[in-house]
Amino acid sequence: FMVRTGTRFMFPIGGVRLGLSASDIGMVTAVQSIVDTIMSLTGGVLMDMSRKISGVPSCFIIAIAYLTVPFCKKTWQLMAASALYGFGNGLSSGLILTLGQDLAPRNARSQFLGVFRTLSEVGALLGPSTAGTLTQIASFNTSAYTMAAVSAFSGVFMLFFVRDVMRPETNAIRVQSSMAQQESASAVEVA
């Protein structure tokens, strides 16, 4: 969540650096939200195949988006970086909570999810504050590069250290849903 909430700081401040008006900055963030929303369906389909297929590319795409922000000199460039971020973020929409559910032990699910959610919310608090602090102490570019590095590290960590767990009941629900769709398609063909 740290990398995801860092966008609340990075793109608006990137717009301020370019001298954009408040409405132009709003347009930049709107583009990000629109692309994110459009990609969430694709992200869900990919996540059903494998959590890693959704999460790993997402982390690297977000890292690339953060890396491009310091090089943006025009509004359309910042919008493109914002759209790229939205693309990556949409690919993994809901991933963190889904991973928490996947990894939660059956006998202590609520306790595990409580701690898991608390830690993810701490990460959400750290995103904008880390980006802002780094910008104040060092520079905006340092902040953007740090967020990119954290995102890339997350992708590497997920690739090598996070188990791709698919619970049997999740697979059973997917199979039942698929069978129901096939039955309804057969009924339509018969009619």
pTM confidence score: 0.83
- Segment 162-173, tens digit of pLDDT: 887 765 555 545
pLDDT of 191 above 90: no
- Segment 55-73, tens digit of pLDDT: 999 999 999 999 999 999 9
Determine the Cα–Cα distance for residues 76 and 32; give it in Å rounded to an integer: 12
Tokens of residue 153, six digits: 């590290």
Mean pLDDT calculated for residue range 130-152: 94
Determine the Cα–Cα distance for residues 99 and 39; give it in Å rounded to an integer: 19
Are the CB atoms for 32 and 7 separated by under 8 Å? yes
Are the CB atoms for 13 and 69 separated by under 8 Å? no
Give the confidence band of 7 by pLDDT, cuts at 50, 70, 90.
Answer: confident
pLDDT of 10 above 70: yes
